[in-house]
Amino acid sequence: MLSWEDFAAIGMAINNTKRSKGDEIAVRYFILNKQLGGEQFAGAVGGHWGIENSLHWQLDVTFGEDQCRIRKGHGDENFSALRRTALSLLKQEKTAKGGVRHKRLNAGWDDDYMGKVVFAR
C-alpha cells in the first residue's frame, strides 16, 4: 500500500541571521513532489529564491514597485497583479529590441506598439 511519503516530502530550511539586537531565526517549509538529498534540497531552495528575487528586482526597477504608496483597500494587491501581468506581457513581446523598461516606455508612447504588447499582434 502506498502512503503519503511515497509521493511527497516536506523540507525545512532554517536561516540564522546575526543582528545587532540578537539572533533572528527564520524557518520555512517546502512541499516537494519527490525525496531529495540535502544538497539537492538546498539547490532547489536557492533556485526558488533566486527566481523570486529576480522577479521582485525587475518589478522594482521597471515599475518602481517599492516606491508605490497605494495602501487603501485592496489597491496594493490589485496594482501588484497589474504590474505582474504587464511584466509578463512585455517579456513575451519579441519584435522590439531592448529591455522591459524600454518596451514599457514605447508602449506608453505608441498606441500601435501597445496593441502589439497587449493583444500579441
pLDDT of residue 70: 87
CB 112 within 8 A of CB 118: no
Name the more confident of 62 and 115.
115
pLDDT band at 8 (very low <50, low <70, confident <90, very high): low
- Domain ranges within the chain, ordered by starting residue: 1-67, 74-121
d(CA 111, CA 58): 24
Angle (nearest 5°) at CA 30 between 25 and 32 = 155
Q: By three-state DSSP, how is residue 31 classified?
A: strand
User: Per residue in 26-72, pLDDT tens?
Assistant: 777 766 667 777 787 777 777 766 666 677 888 888 888 888 888 88
pLDDT of residue 17: 62
